[in-house]
Structure 1
Amino acid sequence: MNWEQLLSLKRSGDTNKRLRKEQDETRLGFEVDYDRIIFSSAFRSLQDKTQVIPLSKTDFVHTRLTHSLEVSVVGRSLGRLTGKKILEKHPHLSTIHGYQMNDFGAIVAAAALAHDIGNPPFGHSGEKAIGEYFLNGNGKRFQSQLSDKEYQDLVKFEGNANGFKILTEDRPGTPGGLRISYATLGAFMKYPKESLPHKPTKNIADKKFGFFQSEKETMLDVAEELGLSKTGNQNDISFSRHPLAFLVEAADDICYTIIDFEDGINLGLIDEDYALEYLIKLVKDNISTPKYNSLQSTADRLSYLRSLAINTLIREAAEIFLANEEAILAGEFHQALFDKSKYEAQIKDIIKISVEKIYQSEEVINKEIAGYKMLETLLDTYTRAFLPDRNDLYSNFNDLVLKSVPKLKHLKAETSVYQKLIQICSYTASLTDGFTVSSFKRYQGSGL
């Protein structure tokens, strides 16, 4: 892979090549990506989607929206740090093509901003709830009408693949979706493969999948334009990661490791003194003891350590990326950047505590249980209305359901069972936590 292709400004539907040196410096193409994402309805919905605690009533716990904004800020710094060194190493990118340090920051920032845009309500448990509806629930009735890969798209429903769908799919009046540059789409895609085979290798890019069968042709077009290295065979589509996807992943890892931990402290789920001790272990090489001791409150000490930890990890992630740039470009780097971190043990300790004290807390588990039932009910309601059984071709209830979801009215024209199902899943995933609750109550007859 080479940087000239990887930094492509092409957008869906382009007939002429976009050149970096011809860009308007007041509003660069990669910055337009950021603008289109942040003004999209899909991004706005993240303000009412779970990051740590589903349906939290406290005002300081992160939502998917605040988390995404923070990941974007960290990603921008990572992109600029690495971009500066890449341009020094490959000066022709600047002198001939016109790329600048901030281009790398803008690409990573936009991709990071969108990294959770396809996540369903109730976090990762929402993904599992959708998948289990088709694996063990009433959705299993459709298996015989689907190909193996189409069925796998459903039973292993993936927020990353749904994000790629949101960013790229045609909608009435908006061909190409948000029309994001291919460089940003490449950086967005942490898992550039289809749903089968499932985890074929230990390569981190094969851990999950990044596109549904409905977006297969779009993915192939993006991969060809960017020059991504093909890793699959004739029957199975998979590629090496876009190098900047490693930076998007690192930005996400930094934020959920440090800031989810902070939320756990603020919620009282993690003892303050215990938590501060673990953060100090992470930043002990960079901490200013006099400054730390001068801080009077726990909140100020926590804020100082959080800032120091994020800065420390940003710089180390950039160093690891640059030290392995050649292997990454060759498609021979198969792990997350922080798998090579000197702070790996400290990071794992913090994540272990977060899992035990936050993600598996009674409050989270109880709300995730409720979320499972709600999503199951919604999926059953929508599939019964849009794909009725032969013995139930029409009912007044189904007719009312059809009218209640105008965003899915175009499904009547769809002939493929798979297309209908993947659109129903994508729509359900687009719902906020709060709207999922109100829809569930409405269909259960208790929403008045």
Structure 2
Amino acid sequence: MNWNQLISTRRLGSLPTTDGNDLYSRTQFQRDYDRIIFSSPFRRMQNKTQVFPLPGSIFVHNRLTHSLEVASVGRTLGSMLAEKLSRSGEQHPLLAELGAVVSAGCLAHDMGNPPFGHAGEEAISNYFTSGNGKDLKNLVSPAEWTDFVFFDGNANALRLLSHQFKGRRDGGFALTYTTLASIVKYPYESVGVTKPKFGFFQTEKKLYQGIASELGLNQTGTDPMKFVRHPLVYLVEAADDICYQIMDMEDAHKLKIVPYNQVIDLFRNFYDPVADKDILSKIDRNFKIVTDRNEQVSYLRASVINKLVNECLEVFEQNRTDIMAGTFQGALIKKVEGSSKTAMEAIVPLSVEKIYNDRSVVEIEMAGYKILGTLLDEFIQAVLEPKAGLSRRLLSLIPQQYRGEHQSDYEKIQSVIDFVSGMTDLFALDLYRKIKGINLPGIG
């Protein structure tokens, strides 16, 4: 792979890429960022669970705030890489725009995730493997079936950004090929995956082939539909890994799930007592000035994120040849060494024990399974049998953009998944209650 091909302003869709009157006001990648951040699907993430249930009196992260923070870290990673590439002799007129590309990719990386946190993906998959959806297998091809049983928010993000929903322009958000490629962590279809992760549905298969061809993302192995990652994917992934691992711990402290002293010790462990003694001394001095415990955790969290940004970029630099050859395996954050590696190895199991298995998290996940399973069941039955029972009334609740002229059962089912996965937590809960007769409009 080479940067001259990897950095492309070619834009999905048939509309002109720019208006001559504002040719110099924003670059194409800045336009990508703006199109994402001003979109309705992006705004809806403010009402989608990240890990903890949506806040009451204590504000913790939702999908929106998480994505904004990831975009901030991603912009730094992209800009630092651009500077290093320039110093090493790499030349490209848009090299300085890598920060904007990675930042846009980070903004969009979670847009395909359904409501109710990480369990939302599992709930959709579970509907087809263990719920009533398992009876639909004979209606679709084997490849289409694996799209459903391995439902993946990453593949759904690509669809959301690129699909021409009814009433929308060709190319969906009409983003650049480079920005679209930067969010595809698993550049292969669902068929034959060893893990339930993949990057594009059958509906976006040809689209991604075109992106890969344009950007020079070669096939890997003998599978014609398995491609190497775009190098910037590693930076989008690193920004996400850094933020959720560290920010989840800060949220856990605010919610009093993990005590102050334990969080401080976990964060300080990222620094070697000898090699980083000057930094640790600076932290101690600042703690004498900043005495509020929440502010101390925030200060230390920011310092740790900065350290991990530099270390992840160093891993990228050390492995740049393999990354550009498409042979590098794994995430950058898993390759950091020294005290950061030791500290991360302590945080991960504690997060599973204290955070992801916290009662409030488990309760929202259980609710998500029930709510999403019911909504999928009701609406899929309605689109497949539009004249039966209450189907016509249920179909009237589906927005026009999801009511295209679907030719196959696969497309009909996919339209319902588009609808349900785009819901906010509260909208899904409210619609579930109304369908089940628990809440009635205008009553109590």
State if a TM-score over 0.5 links the two structures.
yes
**Alignment correspondent of 1:315:** 310
Partner residue in 2 for 1:41: 40
Distance 1:56 1:372 in 2: 20
Code of the aligned partner of 2:107:
L
Unaligned 5+ runs, structure 2: none
Deviation at 1:14, TM superposition (A): 5.2
Q: Is the 8 A contact 1:131 1:157 kept in 2?
A: yes
Residues 54 and 62, structure 2, Cα contact 8 Å, conserved in 1: no
Deviation for aligned residue 1:409: 5.7
SS where residue 210 of structure 1 aligns? coil
Letter aligned with residue 243 of structure 2: C
* Residue type at the aligned position of 1:237: M
1:135 paired with 2:152, answer no
Q: CA deviation at 1:394?
A: 2.1
The number of residue pairs the alignment matches comes to 428
Distance 1:25 1:312, change over 3 A: farther
Counterparts of 1:296 and 1:13, CA distance in 2: 54
Q: 1:399 aligns with which of 392, 395, 398?
A: 392
Residue 186 (structure 1) shift: 1.1
Q: Which residue of 2 aligns with 1:244?
A: 232
Residue 434 (structure 1) aligns with = 426
Could you tell me how far 1:305 is from its partner in structure 2? 0.4
2:146 aligned partner:
152
CA distance in 1, matches of 2:39, 2:87: 35
AA of the residue aligned to 1:26: S
What is the CA distance between 1:297 and its match in structure 2? 2.0
1:113-152 per-position Cα deviation (integer Å, ceiling 9, x unaligned): 1010000001121111111111111111210121111101
How far off its partner does 1:15 sit? 8.8
The correspondence for 1:371, drawn from 368, 371, 384, is 368
| Distance in 2 of aligned mates of 1:242 and 1:165 | 18
Tell whether 2:190 aligns with 1:195.
yes
State the one-letter code of the partner of 2:395: L
- Tell me the secondary structure at the aligned position of residue 119 of structure 1: coil
Residue in structure 2 matching 1:105, options 99, 103, 122 = 99
Quote the Cα distance in structure 1 between the aligned partners of 2:220 and 2:73.
30
Report the residue type matching 1:340 in the other structure.
K
The 1-side partners of 2:263 and 2:397 are apart by 47
Match of 1:229 in 2: 218
C-alpha deviation, 1:207, in angstroms: 7.0
**Counterparts of 1:213-228 in structure 2 under 5 Å?**
213-228=202-217
CA contact (8 A) 1:149 1:213 kept: yes
Give the secondary-structure state (helix, strand or coil) at the position aligned to 2:269: helix
Please give the alpha-carbon distance, in whole angstroms, between the structure 1 residues aligned to 2:341 and 2:217.
29
Distance 1:344 1:24 in 2: 45
Conserved? CA contact 1:110–1:184, under 8 Å: yes
Partner letter of residue 153 of structure 1?
Answer: D
Q: Distance in 2 between matches of 1:56 and 1:295?
A: 26
Structure-2 residue corresponding to 1:447:
439
SS in 2 for 1:190: coil
CA 271–409 in structure 1, closer or farther in 2 if over 3 Å, else same:
closer
Q: How far, CA to CA, are the matches of 1:104 and 1:356 in structure 2?
A: 37
Is the 8 Å Cα contact of residues 68 and 112 (structure 1) preserved in structure 2?
yes
1:297 to 292, 295, 303: 292
- The question of whether the paired residues in 2 share the 8 Å contact of 1:402 and 1:409 is answered with no
3-state SS, counterpart of residue 123 of structure 1 = coil
Q: Does 1:70 align with 2:93?
A: no
For residues 286-315 of structure 1, the C-alpha deviation after alignment (integer angstroms, 9 at most, x for no partner) is: 331322343312112111101100110111
Judge conservation of contact 2:150–2:197 (CA < 8 Å) in 1.
no
- When normalised by structure 1's length, the TM-score is 0.92
Q: 1:33 to 1:409 in 2, by over 3 A?
A: closer
Listed one character per residue, the Cα deviations across residues 252-299 of structure 1 (whole Å, up to 9, x for unaligned) are 011001111100000011011111111111135233132234331211
What is aligned with 1:3?
A: 3
Tell me how far apart the structure 1 counterparts of residues 108 and 402 of structure 2 sit (CA, whole Å): 26
- Judge conservation of contact 2:270–2:342 (CA < 8 Å) in 1: no
Instruction: State the distance in 2 between where 1:380 and 1:407 align.
Output: 20
Work out the CA distance in 2 between the residues paired with 1:243 and 1:150: 28
**Residue in 1 that maps onto 2:262:** 274
Which residue in the other structure is 1:126 paired with? 120
Question: Does 1:350 find its partner at 2:343?
Answer: no
CA distance in 2, matches of 1:12, 1:187: 14
The secondary structure found in structure 2 opposite 1:282 is coil
Query: What CA RMSD, in Å, does the superposition of the two structures yield over aligned residues?
Result: 1.9
Aligned counterparts of 2:436 and 2:409: Cα–Cα separation in 1: 26
* Greater mean deviation of Cα atoms: 56-65 or 357-366: 56-65
Distance 2:79 2:198 in 1: 28
Q: Deviations over 1:70-95 (max 9, x none)?
A: 000000000000111112223432xx
Q: Is contact 1:121–1:432 with CA below 8 Å preserved after alignment? A: yes
Task: Give % identity.
Answer: 41
- Counterpart in the other structure of 1:337: 332
Cα distance in 1, alignment partners of residues 48 and 157 from structure 2: 14
CA–CA separation in structure 2 for the residues paired with 1:229 and 1:426: 30
CA distance in 2, matches of 1:65, 1:409: 23
Q: Deviations over 1:45-76 (max 9, x none)?
A: 10000112123324420000000000000000
CA contact (8 A) 1:408 1:424 kept: no
User: Using the alignment, how far apart are the partners of 2:410 and 2:222 within structure 1?
Assistant: 24
Equivalence for 1:88: 87
**C-alpha deviation, 1:100, in angstroms:** 3.8
